[in-house]
Amino acid sequence: MIHFDYIRVSTTKAAVDAIVKDSKAQWIAGGTNLVDLMKKGVMAPDKLVDINNLALKEIKKQSSSLLIGALALNGPVADNELVRKEQPLLSLALQAGASAQLRNMATVGGNMMQRTRCPYFYNPDMPCNKREPGTGCGALKGFNRMHAIFTDSEKCIAVHPSDMSIALVALDATVLVSGPKGDRRIPFQNFHRLPGDMPQKDNTLERGELIVAVDIPDNKFSKNVHYLKVRDRTSYAFALVSVAAALDMQGSTIKDVRLAMGGVAHKPWRLPEAENFLKGKTASEAVFRQAAELSMKGAKGYGYNNFKLRLAPTSIVEALKAASGKK
Amino acid sequence: MAQKKSFNDQQDDKHYSEGRRNFLKQSSLLTALAITPPYLLKAAESELDEKAAGYFEKMPLSIEINGVNHKLSIEPRTTLLDLMREQLALTGTKKGCDHGQCGACTVHVDGNRVLSCLTLAVMVEGKKITTVEGLADGDQLHPMQEAFIKHDGFQCGYCTPGQIMSAIGCIREGHANSDDEIREYMSGNICRCGAYPNIVKAIADVKKGGQKL
């Protein structure tokens, strides 16, 4: 690892100031992704600003939402009684990610900031428009088994690796940020972005904007939820495809539904067409199958990942079956 | 090699005045010097200047490892794993992948299992670290160590310190209620010998014993 300076800050303002005045400085929280990227030479900040002393660990019930501090740790959030009771989908998604040790280190804010695990991004000897804009996408005609089937640009077909974020986009969460120009609330759907002409930008944060919390509005998804993660081994692997499904059922009628997929796009991939189709319908495998087919509009394989074109809709059906109890 | 050498240069001589480890390091270094072309030695010399500059960038660090307080001066880029193994001669914690993928380096920070290879040592200032060396009480092994022996929970033993530290965390976190749950919550510890069935038995046994860990 290259040399870097290290400082600790204890207020949000000091954290923001430290990043604004030093263009090569970077925040560090859990470090589970950043330290790895620095060892690989993919990222090389001149200075690390340690934000772990900021008072952003609290999980608290608001009048109509659940507020989770950006520095709350993934493992403890997944096990938290309030989270399990109010937002079980989030708990399931967190449990599906990484390993117990990593979940004890990784923060909620850091989880959504993690970089893609695309092997071309991870290897500085390979072309990658995300790591080094203009060098091309090695995955497009390369080994792209893990890669996206939905994208707005072939400059980058990497996928966002977070499980937690798939649940948060399904739950209509809001990201609270604090920056040099003040505070701002970003709908989770708008937090991550598609690659477009700037695959180097994973999200819509401005320089100096720090995530302080995630706010999840109250909902009726406390019972019929499922997070299905399909991967190369049963545990501790990134998703080939994952599906977050939440249903509000009245008998066998679907009153409300949320669906999102991981492992298929540069951002957590919400499925609005399928949701609209399912609302008011009677739950059945045939209906789930139709919803899944609707979700695949615009999907495209790049060779090694062609299997996802079948795996994704099948996974949607399985997740909906599990969530609705129609196993 | 370059990285290894820079760590050696930071080391406190007293830890390395004896032992096979030291002999091997010195002898391989001498062999390397003997076969190194002169222009490379020149490059190595200029690297020494960088190290001298690096000396002034060190940070003070005070941590407690296995009940012993350490006041140190370290480079910010030093991981907790490298600090313990290379500078404090605590080699019980193993370096497997060094990228957070295998669990061999698992230790407890303030009682919670974490990966020491992805932990910058400066970030655990003031914290209490427990490694596999800190589990036994004199000659009395920790219940989890006893259980690993009783159930033959290892073959080559390289992943074992990480497995044991993780296993204690698994029970403390309340996720050792069934074999399936143990497997899921121990998935961050890879064993290439495939001792998994006996590791699960050892953990289930300690859990059944109900002792506070």
Residue A66: strand pairing partners: A61, A216
Please indicate if any CB of chain A lies within 8 Å of the CB of B183. Answer: yes
Higher pLDDT, A273 or B49: A273
B46-50, B128-132, B179-183: least confident range: B46-50
Confidence (pLDDT) at B13: 41
Q: How far is CA B184 from the centre of its chain?
A: 23
pLDDT tens digits, B106-118: 999 999 999 999 9
How many CA atoms are closer than 13 Å to the CA of B163, on its beta-carbon side?
Answer: 30
Percent of chain B with pLDDT over 90: 72
Number of domains chain A is built from? 2
Name the strand (E) or helix (H) holding B128.
Answer: strand B128-130
Q: What is the CATH number of the domain that holds A24?
A: 3.30.43.10
Q: What pLDDT was estimated at residue B6? A: 42
> Which residue of chain A is at minimal alpha-carbon distance from B58?
A5
Mean of pLDDT values over B90-112: 98
Give yes or no for a contact between A270 and A259, defined as CB atoms under 8 angstroms apart. Answer: yes
Query: How far from A7 is each of A20, A157, A225, B21, CA to CA, in Å?
Result: 14, 35, 42, 35
Q: What is the pLDDT of residues A211-223, one digit of tens each?
A: 999 999 999 999 9
- Residue A135 to residues A131, A139, A156, A242, A309, Cα–Cα distance (Å): 9, 12, 11, 30, 28
Check whether A327 has a pLDDT greater than 90: no
Q: By C-alpha distance, which of A44, A202, A48 is closest to A118?
A: A202
Regarding beta strands B59-65 and B128-130, do their DSSP bridges make them parallel or antiparallel, or are they unpaired? Answer: parallel
CB contact under 8 A, A101 and B185: no
CATH 3.10.20.30 in chain B: give the residue spans. Answer: 59-134
Start-end ranges of CATH 1.10.150.120 in chain B? 143-209
ipTM of the complex in this document: 0.97
Q: Give CATH for domain B59-134.
A: 3.10.20.30
In terms of pLDDT, which residue wins out, A326 or B145? B145
What residues of chain B lie within 8 A of the CB of A236, using their CB?
Answer: 187-188
Sequence-separated (6 or more) residues with CB below 8 Å from residue A233? none
Q: What is the DSSP letter of B86?
A: I
Q: Considering the domain boundaries, does residue A26 fall inside one?
A: yes
Q: Chain B residue with minimal CA distance to A35?
A: B118
pLDDT at A326: 74
Q: Does B54 touch chain A (CB under 8 A)?
A: yes
Write out pLDDT tens, residues A267-294: 999 999 999 999 999 999 999 999 999 9
**Average pLDDT of span A302-313:** 98
Provide the Cα torsion B109, A53, A24, A184; round to 10°.
130
**CATH code of the domain covering residue A307:** 3.30.390.50
The residue of chain B with its CA nearest to that of A76 is B173
What average pLDDT does chain A have? 97
Give domain status of residue A96, yes or no.
no
**Number of residues that this document lists for chain A:** 327
**CATH of the domain spanning B143-209, picked from 2.60.120.470, 2.60.34.10, 1.10.150.120, 3.30.465.10:** 1.10.150.120
Q: Residue range B132-142: average pLDDT?
A: 97
Residue A271 belongs to some domain of the structure: yes
Using pLDDT thresholds of 50, 70 and 90, give the confidence band for residue B57. Answer: confident
Q: Where residue B14 falls among pLDDT bands split at 50, 70, 90?
A: very low
Closest CA of chain A from B145, distance in Å: 19
| pLDDT in the model for residue A276 | 98
The range of the structural domain enclosing residue A251 comes to 224-324
Residue A315: inside a domain? yes
| Confidence check: pLDDT of A3 > 50 | yes
Query: What confidence tens digit (pLDDT) does each residue in A101-155 have?
Result: 999 999 999 999 999 999 999 999 999 999 999 999 999 999 999 999 999 999 9
Mean pLDDT of A176-186: 98
Residue B41 pLDDT greater than 60, yes or no = no
B-chain residues near A35 (CB < 8 A) = 79, 118-120
Measure CB to CB from residue A100 to each of B99, B123, B185 and give the nearest one: B185
B19 Cα to chain A: minimum distance (Å): 28
- Contact assessment for residue A282 and residue A255, using Cβ atoms and an 8 Å cutoff: no
- Mean pLDDT over the full length of chain B: 84
- Flag the least confident range among A27-36, B49-58, B83-92, B196-205: B49-58
Residues 75-134 of A with CB under 8 A from B: 75, 79, 98-102, 104-105
